Amino acid sequence: MSSTGDKVKGMANEAVGNVKQGVGKVTDNDKLRAEGKAQEVKGEAQQTVGDAKDAVKKGVDKV
């Protein structure tokens, strides 16, 4: 997957995770809050992968 694809999927997962956490908090659903937090962390990791791919590509392009 491209760096842009990783970043987009990461942002989407992070957004959905935040929504799940909010709904879980409002409905007092600890399971949904935990799922939301896990999805948010997954999204952050995907974005980091995308950033790393960008950095490697920029390094290779300089050579």
Distance CA 36, CA 44 (A): 12
Q: What is the pLDDT of residue 63?
A: 66
DSSP annotation of 18 reads: H
Q: What's the pLDDT score for residue 24?
A: 98
pLDDT tens for 29-52 read 999 999 999 999 999 999 999 999
Q: Which pTM value belongs to this model?
A: 0.83
Q: What is the pLDDT of residue 56?
A: 92
What is the dihedral angle through the alpha carbons of 3, 7, 40, 27, rounded to the nearest 10 degrees? -150
Q: Can you give the pLDDT at residue 53?
A: 93
Burial (0-12, 13-18, 19+ Cβ within 10 Å), 4: exposed
Q: Which of 26, 46, 22, 50 is nearest to 36 (CA)?
A: 22
